[in-house]
């Protein structure tokens, strides 16, 4: 009896925190693209979204007209190429999948020369029009573009490190799904923490912290780590020149944005890995790092340390920190 009423109290509290919660204005920059379209669809389904503004240099009004017919509460508006400021007016969360994707044989770093300028210009507009917005960067290379956006905000005098995020959720989604393929566990209840950054060997899955993951050893473990680190290549190769992950990324982007929206709405204990300005490895010259972060009304509420890890993970982390340092410096160099 007591247990049942206690359970009811918990579920009532949950229901209260999600149904009575605050709604937020969201803008998607790059809404006409491979990620942007399904991401816009998923954001239209999120009950925490009040206004959904869709912007792209091509095709956003069409995507908006389409998505706007879905019978959920949010109002959707599309903005053409010359309407960036209008798209950002009143934005509280800005999600950015704008920019070019990889083709086979390219690294994420090969996208830098095009996407660094795209991101710099979009971040400048956000800093000018909606400086208090939370900025979620999906565009690659994430490890270099988050530092670029941070400097843009700094130069504009509006930098709040708690509000700029590199979206590394696809690594978490992959690690969780790939582990389930190996062990047969239910991925829904067994997320894997992934730390570091978002490219190749800067991606460090912490299987030792998962009750299913720690049982995976030897060659199977090595293959699993490699698959998480290079899962993006798997999709790029399979798409054979038609781009990189779009659908799984839209899912991951909506998952991260949804978590932030719940945090903004006041839900407690919303914790997920994301690439942010971080004190964790500052002593080794690494200013940005993905680890578990508690999300709340101000964005980053608390950065969690990496916690206990295995000897193999220590080695992976060492390699990741070296790569991250280079990626971050490359971003800074561009923006100086």
Which residues here bind ligand NAD, judged by CB under 6 A?
A: 29-30, 32-36, 56-58, 97-102, 111, 115, 118, 122, 138-140, 142, 167, 170, 198, 243-246, 249
Q: What is the 3-state secondary structure (H, E, C) of 69-105?
A: CCCCCCEEEEECCCCHHHHHCCCCEEEECCCCCCCCC
Residue 204's DSSP bridge partners are: 195
CA 316 to chain centre: 21
CB atoms within 10 A of CB 129: 18
* Residue 286 touches ligand LMR, criterion: CB under 6 A: no
CA dihedral 198, 203, 204, 210 (to 10 degrees): 70
CA 150 – CA 246 distance, rounded (Å): 25
* Residue 48 touches ligand LMR, criterion: CB under 6 A: no
Q: Is 206 exposed, middle or buried, given 0-12, 13-18 or 19+ CB atoms closer than 10 A?
A: buried
Q: How far is the CB of 107 from ligand LMR (least distance, A)?
A: 8
Contacted by 135, from ligand LMR, ligand NAD, none: CB < 5 to 8 Å by type:
none
304 catalytic per annotation? no
Which part of the chain contacts ligand LMR (CB under 6 A), choosing from 16-24, 61-69, 209-217, 232-240? 232-240
Q: How far is the CB of 108 from ligand NAD (least distance, A)?
A: 6
Q: Has 138 been labeled as part of a binding site?
A: yes
Contacted by 236, from ligand NAD, ligand LMR, none: CB < 5 to 8 Å by type:
ligand LMR
Q: How far is the CB of 102 from ligand LMR (least distance, A)?
A: 4
**The one catalytic residue among 134, 198, 226, 304:** 198
> Can you give the C-alpha Rg of the chain in angstroms?
19
Q: Residue from 28, 126, 236, 270 that binds ligand LMR (CB under 6 A)?
A: 236
Closer CB to ligand NAD, residue 209 or residue 246?
Answer: 246
Contacted by 34, from ligand NAD, ligand LMR, none: CB < 5 to 8 Å by type:
ligand NAD
CA 39 – CA 34 distance, rounded (Å): 9
Residue with structure tokens 């982007």? 253
Annotated catalytic residues are 198
């Amino acid at each position: 009896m007591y247990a049942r009423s206690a359970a009811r109290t918990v579920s009532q509290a949950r229901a209260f925190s999600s149904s009575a919660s605050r709604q937020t204005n969201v803008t998607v920059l790059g809404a006409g693209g491979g990620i942007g379209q399904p991401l816009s669809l998923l954001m239209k389904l999120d009950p925490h979204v009040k206004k959904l503004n869709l912007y792209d240099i091509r095709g956003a009004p069409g995507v908006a007209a389409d998505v706007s017919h879905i019978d959920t509460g949010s109002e959707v508006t599309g903005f053409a190429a010359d309407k960036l400021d209008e798209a950002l007016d009143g934005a509280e969360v800005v999600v950015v999948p704008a920019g070019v994707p990889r083709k086979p044989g390219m690294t994420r770093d090969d996208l830098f020369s095009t996407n660094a300028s795209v991101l710099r210009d979009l971040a400048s507009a956000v800093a000018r029009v909606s400086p208090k917005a939370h900025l979620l960067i999906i565009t690659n290379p994430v490890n270099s573009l988050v530092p670029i956006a941070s400097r843009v905000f700094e130069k504009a005098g509006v930098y709040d490190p708690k509000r700029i995020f590199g979206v590394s959720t696809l690594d978490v989604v992959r690690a969780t799904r790939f582990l389930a393929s190996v062990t047969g566990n239910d991925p829904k209840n067994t997320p894997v923490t992934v730390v570091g950054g978002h490219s190749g060997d800067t991606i460090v899955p912490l299987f030792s912290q998962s009750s299913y993951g720690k049982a995976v050893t030897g060659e199977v473990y090595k293959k699993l780590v490699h698959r998480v680190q290079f899962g993006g290549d798997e999709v790029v190769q399979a798409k054979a020149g038609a781009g990189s992950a779009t659908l799984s990324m839209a899912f991951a982007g909506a998952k991260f944005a949804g978590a932030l929206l719940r945090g903004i709405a006041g839900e407690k204990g919303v914790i997920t890995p994301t690439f942010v300005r971080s004190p964790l490895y500052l002593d080794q010259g690494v200013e940005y790092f993905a680890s578990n972060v508690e999300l709340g009304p101000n964005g980053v509420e608390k950065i969690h340390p990496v916690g206990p890890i295995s000897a193999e993970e220590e080695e992976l982390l060492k390699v990741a920190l070296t790569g991250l340092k280079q990626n971050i410096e490359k971003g800074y160099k561009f923006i100086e």
